Amino acid sequence: MTERAAPSSIDPAEVAKFQAMAREWWDPQGKFKPLHMLNPTRLDYVTRQIAAQFGRDLAAPRPFQRLTLLDIGCGGGLMAEPMARLGATVTGADAAEGNIAVASLHAQEQCLPIDYRATTAEALAAEGLAYDVVMALEIVEHVAEPSEFITTCRDLIRPGGMLIQSTLNRTARSFAAAIVGAEWVMRWLPKGTHDWRRFITPDELAQMTEASGLSVVDRCGMVFNPLGWSWSLSHRDLSVNYAMTALRPA
C-alpha cells in the first residue's frame, strides 16, 4: 500500500519567489535588507516572550539551554542563528531548498549546530515531532491556507509550549510601507514579493490561532521610524508589522 504524502499549505509560486533570492540572505544591503533592519527588534520580541514563558534569565550566557525550537520558513537563518547562540536546540525548516543550502553553509561557517531541513511543517508534524517553541515569522501571509498552516503549527508544539508569529497587517499603511515603499520606491525587494490582499489583520490571525486550540497571550507591533531609520516594539501600533504569541495548554 502506498503511503499518502502529508498535505501541504505551501504555495509553490511563493516558494519560487524566495528560492530565486536565496543567495541574497546574508547580504545586509541586498534584497533582504528590510529583514536585516527588522531582525534585532524581532529578536527582542521573541526572546522576551520565551524568557517570560519558561522563566529564563536573558542575562545568562545561554538562557535557552534545554529548549527545543522550530523556525518554520527559516529562510537563510537570520533568526535561527541567534536562537542557537542563546542555547536553544534549533531546527530550521524551509520549503525552498536554495534557502536551506545557504542557511546550512552559513551555520557551518559560524560553527552553529542547527538542524536545517528542506521540508514543510506538515511533513514534520507527520513525523510526530514537537517543540517547546515554534516560530513562524513572515510566513503566514505566503502560505496557501493560513488557518490550516496554524493548525499544523499547533500540532508541532508540546503542551505548555508556544507559537510566535509575525506578519503584516492589511491596512493602507502596510500597502504604502511594504509594497510602495519597500518594493516600488526603495527597491529593497523585487516587485510582487508581497500581495497586499494576503496580508492578515491581528483580529483575523488571533481568530485563526484561537480556533486551532491555542490561546493568544500577546500582540505587539513592530514600528519603523524613518527619521531615526530604526525599528521599535509597540503594543499600541500594529498597523503595519506585528507579532503575536500564543500558548498550547499544558
In a domain, 4, yes or no: no
94 is in an annotated binding site: yes
In a domain, 6, yes or no: no
- Would you say the C-alpha torsion 179, 149, 20, 76 has a positive or negative sign? positive
Give yes or no for residue 222 having a pLDDT over 90. Answer: yes
**CATH code at position 166:** 3.40.50.150
Q: What is the pLDDT of residue 163?
A: 98
Strand 157-168 versus strand 215-225 pairing type? unpaired
Banded model confidence at residue 187, pLDDT cuts 50, 70, 90: low
Burial class (CB in 10 A: 0-12, 13-18, 19+), 85: middle
Q: How far separated are the first and last CA of the chain, in Å rounded? A: 37
Distance CA 91, CA 205 (A): 24
In a domain, 191, yes or no: yes
How many domains does the chain contain in total? 1
Please list the residues that pair with 201 across neighbouring strands: none
Domain assignment of residue 240, given as a range: 12-248
Q: What is the pLDDT of residues 61-110, one digit of tens each?
A: 999 999 999 999 999 999 999 999 999 999 999 998 999 999 999 999 99
In a domain, 7, yes or no: no
Distance CA 7, CA 5 (A): 6
Distance CA 76, CA 138 (A): 13
Claim: this prediction has a pTM higher than 0.85:
yes
Distance CA 183, CA 71 (A): 25
List all residues 6 or more positions away from 85 whose beta carbon is below 8 Å from its beta carbon: 62, 112
Strand 68-72 versus strand 131-137 pairing type? parallel
42 is in an annotated binding site: yes
In a domain, 235, yes or no: yes
In a domain, 233, yes or no: yes
137 is in an annotated binding site: yes
Residue 155 in contact with residue 131, Cβ under 8 Å?
no
Counts for the chain of helices (H) and strands (E), in that order: 8, 8
In a domain, 1, yes or no: no
Q: Where is pLDDT greater, at 88 or 182?
A: 88
**Which helix (H) or strand (E) segment is 222 a member of?**
strand 215-225
Residue 72 in contact with residue 51, Cβ under 8 Å?
no
Q: Where is pLDDT greater, at 214 or 178?
A: 214
Segment among 25-39, 86-100, 141-155, 195-209 with least mean pLDDT: 25-39
In a domain, 45, yes or no: yes
Distance CA 50, CA 230 (A): 24
3-state secondary structure of 140: helix
